[in-house]
Amino acid sequence: MKKRKCNNILAIETSCDDTSLALLVDNKIIFNKTITRNDLHLKYGGIVPELAARNHADVITELLDELTNATKFDLNNLDYIAYTAFPGLPGSLHIGKVFAKTLSFLLNKPIIKIDHMLAHAYSFSIDNNKLIKYPFLCLDASGGHTTIYLFKSLNKYKVLNDAQDDAIGECLDKIGRILSLPYPGGISINRIYDPNKDNLKMIHHYLPNEPFSLSGLKTHVSNYVNSLKMKKQKIDKVLIASSVLKWCIDELLIKLIYYLSKYKVKFVVIGGGVAANSLLRKQINNIKNKVILVDKKYCGDNAAMIANLANLLVNNKKSI
């Protein structure tokens, strides 16, 4: 019998608060749905790990029903079950792992463990694997990471720069909280950003090769807001939020441009939740090299990127 070349992969992503399932058939994503319950965490101003994990358990089976109803795909025809194994919130990861193992047991299908960060890095290639050319640089700007990678082959990479304290999304979320903006702060700050009001003095930028550090910025904003409160002066949220965002995007670009001058690469990929930011997407015009911006629908956490990386690994017969 002729061996079937394509892979049918069910992918599970539960690393943080988003519950996502995707189905890849014949190298194409035919289903990708993410359930985000910001409302659960809203009143706490940040993700509550226990609530996130419980919510995964509550919605994941309904999501699988939705997948099979929408695609009419028989799960017995799967070749692999891929799930996010790390990094992430332990309780959240555990739900994805148990779900994957249960399906693997019931359907007798092998499991592929996926590195969430690598999956983000390759999310630019979800709908077109031909885009992948080495070497390339990747900036992952998300709630958990601010990392610049140099990719030399599928899973051979070097971390050139990394956050030494808060990740950029985390920092924007915390500053959003200081300014009493709705959670998640990153999205709120994006929404109210005003280019005519982004000139409030912030801290100095770091040297390009110094690690990403955002705790100084956070402390600066916190002190500034507290001093206004003590003096009973008006807090101009738009001015503060716009200046913070401008500082963060400038800091990202200073570092990216520096590494692009040091390494000869085919292109630079920008992904992760913060890559959906409008100012960042506009400011990349300042980069002379070819830039691939991850499609907004694949910037945040999603299972399509898990399926995509699993497919790349299977096709390359590699494992992480």
Where do the DSSP E strands lie in 200-294?
A: 267-271, 291-293
CB of 300 to ligand KG4, least distance (A): 3
- What binding mask, one character per residue, do residues 50-89 give for ligand KG4 by CB under 6 A, x or -? ----------------------------------------
Q: Does 309 bind ligand KG4 (CB under 6 A)?
A: no
53 SS3 class: helix
290 backbone φψ class: left, alpha, beta (φ>0; ψ -120 to 50): beta
184 binds, among Zn ion, ligand KG4, none (CB under 5 to 8 A by kind): ligand KG4
Distance separating alpha carbons of residues 196 and 201, to the nearest angstrom: 14
274 binds, among Zn ion, ligand KG4, none (CB under 5 to 8 A by kind): ligand KG4
- What residues contact residue 65 under an 8 Å CB cut-off, 6+ apart? none
Q: Does 187 bind ligand KG4 (CB under 6 A)?
A: yes
CB of 181 to ligand KG4, least distance (A): 10
Q: Does 301 bind Zn ion (CB under 5 A)?
A: yes
179 SS3 class: coil
Give me the phi and psi of 35, to 5 degrees please. -105, 120
Q: Does 173 bind ligand KG4 (CB under 6 A)?
A: yes
Distance separating alpha carbons of residues 154 and 220, to the nearest angstrom: 40
Chain-centroid distance of CA 275 in Å reads 8
| Piece of the chain touching ligand KG4 by CB under 6 A; list 73-81, 141-149, 202-210, 233-241 | 141-149
186 binds, among Zn ion, ligand KG4, none (CB under 5 to 8 A by kind): ligand KG4
Q: How many residues does the chain have?
A: 320
Chain-centroid distance of CA 180 in Å reads 24
Q: Does 45 bind ligand KG4 (CB under 6 A)?
A: no
108 backbone φψ class: left, alpha, beta (φ>0; ψ -120 to 50): left
> What residues between 281 and 300 interact with ligand KG4 by CB under 6 A?
300
Q: Does 277 bind ligand KG4 (CB under 6 A)?
A: yes
Q: Does 276 bind ligand KG4 (CB under 6 A)?
A: yes
209-213 contacts at long range (C-beta below 8 A, 24 or more positions apart) = 209/161, 209/255, 209/258, 211/161, 211/162, 211/163, 211/164, 212/146, 212/161, 212/162, 212/163, 212/164, 212/168, 212/251, 212/255, 213/163, 213/164, 213/165
> What residues between 138 and 157 interact with Zn ion by CB under 5 A?
142
> What residues between 224 and 253 interact with ligand KG4 by CB under 6 A?
none
Using the minimum distance from each CB to ligand KG4, give the nearer residue, 8 or 146.
146
Residues of this chain that bind ligand KG4 (CB under 6 A): 16, 142-144, 169-170, 172-173, 184-187, 190, 272-274, 276-277, 300-301
Given the rule CB under 5 A, which residues bind Zn ion?
142, 301
